[in-house]
Amino acid sequence: MNDRKTMNMDKDMEPDMDTNADMDTNADKEKKQPADMNTSKKNASSQTKPKGKGKKSIIKQRLPAAVLAALSAVLLSLFPDTQNAFTSTVTSYSSEMISIFPAVLIIMGLMMVFVSNEFISRHLGSESGLKGMAVSFLLGTLPSGPLYMAFPMAAALRAKGARTANMVIFLSAWACIKIPQEMVELRFLGLKFMSLRLVFTIIFVLIMGLIIEKFDTPQKGNLEDA
Amino acid sequence: MSPTAVSINALAAAALIAAMVKSRKKTVMALKSAWKMFLSMLPMLIIIILLIGLLFGFVPEEDLKSFLGDQSGPVGVLVTAVVGALLHIPALLAFPLAASLIEKGASVTVAAAFLTTLTMIGMVTLPLEIKELGKKFALMRNGLSFIAALIISYLLGVFV
């Protein structure tokens, strides 16, 4: 199934990339065309996320976990006096995660489906001044997709004349300020840690936006393919 | 369950009901993508839980404290910040890891540096960012993020 999927998406790309050995390059390709992927993959398989799930990448994902599990088993049997600390920690952290992760993932899934990319693109850059910054920031916190999905959106808007500062704010908010993430941070690190880190991050993201705008405002010349 | 966990679950339930009312089809899609996110995160989830277990089983508290504790100085913070910038862990899983480090004696500054560089800086996505937004933009955003992360974590160490 994986192979078929790969062939499918390769139709409009280089024809010589249908082997598993090329999976990694394919994963890169997918990143560039997330929108295309979504439509072409829906009928190809049940996987709708552009993730590059070739056999190789599945092994690449699972192997480290398996190796670490085996290593832990060996270490624990060699040093039995560490077993108590290990099991009690693993139990408490696992149950902690189980108590919130399903809820957090459901919220992320809902946001992924109900907040469309079109919605973000439409509103991003619709305001100017301080309001524009606030909008860019808020829009960045909404999506749950990976950061690379935000680059083309930001680039397209920048080409249309959106402020560099707003794009920095949008990307940074997308990268590190997410409502579901803040909830997990709240649970594991406490209100004070979470809220202060959030406030400081917002302040520095704004400053960064203004600095980068100062040094990298695109001239007409370097906008070609942005 | 803690009050925080209860409210997170209540929020998810409320959102789910609202979504159901709005569109059943979309809600099913959302649940499916939540499940897929879970599956794609699972290997890393297992790794993180095992690492936390090993940390508590095998790393002596004094050793961790002397390198990452309150008195350990800026080297530990810098190293953690660099590690955070290079790693590619889902943020959701980084929070328990950071919490375990603090529980084991690492300073708040170290945990904050790790989390902030991890989320703000994407070395894996940097080539793509350069391609889409230009070298200057991408390098400045990631570079300044590193400096900002150090300042943020220092401030957090002072205030928390």
Chain A residues in contact with B111 (beta carbon < 8 A): 189, 193
Question: Biggest alpha carbon distance in chain B?
Answer: 55
pLDDT band at A55 (very low <50, low <70, confident <90, very high): low
Residue B52 and residue B97 in contact, taking contact as beta carbons nearer than 8 Å = yes
Predicted confidence (pLDDT) at residue A37 exceeds the cutoff of 70: no
Tokens of A189: 């690190």
Question: How many Cβ atoms from other residues are within 10 Å of residue B129's Cβ?
Answer: 23
- Residues of chain A in contact with residue B92, where contact means CB-CB under 8 angstroms, are 101, 104, 180-181, 184
Q: What is the pLDDT of residues B25-41, one digit of tens each?
A: 999 999 999 999 999 89
Radius of gyration of chain B, Cα coordinates, nearest whole angstrom: 19
Confidence of residue A198 (pLDDT cuts 50, 70, 90): very high
In the A/B pair of chains, how many CB contacts fall below 8 A? 245
Structure confidence at residue A204 (pLDDT): 96
Residues 6+ apart with CB under 8 A from A70: none
Q: In chain B, which residues have their Cβ closer than 8 Å to the Cβ of A178?
A: 91
Contacts of A146 (CB under 8 A, 6+ apart): B125
Q: Quick one: pLDDT at residue B14? A: 96
Q: Is the dihedral of CA B131, A181, A188, B36 positive or negative?
A: negative
Q: Name the residue among A114, A175, A212 with its Cβ closest to that of B137.
A: A212
Residue range A145-169: mean pLDDT, rounded: 89
**Phi-psi label, residue A145: left if phi above 0, alpha if psi -120 to 50, beta otherwise:** beta
Cα-based angle A153, B117, A181 (whole degrees, multiple of 5): 70
What average pLDDT does range A53-69 have in this prediction? 76
34-73 of B, contacting A, C-beta below 8 A: 34-38, 40, 43-47, 49-58
Angle in degrees, 0-180, between the axes of helices B135-159 and B126-133, rounded to the nearest 10: 130
Residue, of A160 and B106, whose pLDDT is higher: B106
Which tens digit of pLDDT belongs to each residue from B24-80? 999 999 999 999 999 989 999 999 999 999 999 999 999 899 889 988 789 999 999
Q: pLDDT: is A30 or A161 the higher one?
A: A161
Do B128 and A32 make contact, defined as CB atoms within 8 angstroms?
A: yes
HSE-CB at B56 with a 13 A cutoff on CA atoms is 21
pTM: 0.80
> For residue A160, what are the CA distances in angstroms to A163, A221, B48?
9, 14, 42
Query: For every residue of chain A, which 3-state class applies, written as one string?
Result: CHHHHHHHHHCCCCCCCCCHHHHHHHHHHHHHCHHHHHHHHHCCCCCCCCCCCCHHHHHHHHHHHHHHHHHHHHHHHHCHHHHHHHHHHHHHHHHHHHHHHHHHHHHHHHHHHHCCHHHHHHHCCCCCHHHHHHHHHHHHHCCCCCHHHHHHHHHHHHHCCCCHHHHHHHHHHHHHCCHHHHHHHHHHHCHHHHHHHHHHHHHHHHHHHHHHHHHCCCCHHHHCCC
Most confident region among A14-23, A217-226, B14-23 by mean pLDDT: B14-23
Instruction: Report the largest interatomic distance among the alpha carbons of chain A, rounded to a whole angstrom.
Output: 67
Cβ–Cβ under 8 Å, residues A140 and A124: no
pLDDT of residue A221: 45
Residues B7-33: what's their mean pLDDT? 95
| Interchain proximity B50–A181, CB inside 8 Å | no
pLDDT at position A8 is 38
In sequence order, the 6+-apart residues with CB closer than 8 A to the CB of A165 are A133, A206, A209, A210, A212, A213
Question: Would residue A52 be called left, alpha or beta, if left means φ above 0 and alpha means ψ between -120 and 50 degrees?
Answer: left
Mention every residue, 6+ apart, whose C-beta is less than 8 A from residue A110.
Answer: B15, B16, B19, B27, B30, B34
- Closest by Cβ to B122, choosing from A32, A147, A192: A147
Cβ(B107)–Cβ(B72) under 8 Å?
yes
| Top-ranked range on mean pLDDT: pick from A45-49, A150-154, B111-115 | B111-115
Give the whole-number percent of chain A exceeding pLDDT 90. 50
45-64 in A: which are within 8 Å (CB) of B? 47-49, 51, 61-62, 64
Which of B16, B59, B115 is the best mutation test for A, with the most CBs of A within 10 A?
B115
User: How far apart are the C-alpha atoms of B5 and A99, rounded to whole Å?
Assistant: 6
Mean pLDDT of the region A9-13:
36
* Banded pLDDT at A170 (limits 50, 70, 90): very high
Tell whether the model's pLDDT for residue B135 goes beyond 90. yes
Residue A34, pLDDT > 90, answer no
Closest-CA residue to B14 (of B55, A149, B22, B160): B22
Residue of B nearest to A53 (CA): B40
In angstroms and rounded to an integer, the radius of gyration of the C-alpha atoms of chain A is: 22
Q: Is the dihedral of CA A40, A42, A48, A52 positive or negative?
A: negative
- The amino acid present at B50, given as its one-letter code, is L
Residue B138: pLDDT over 50 = yes
How near does any CA of chain B get to the CA of A19, in Å?
A: 22
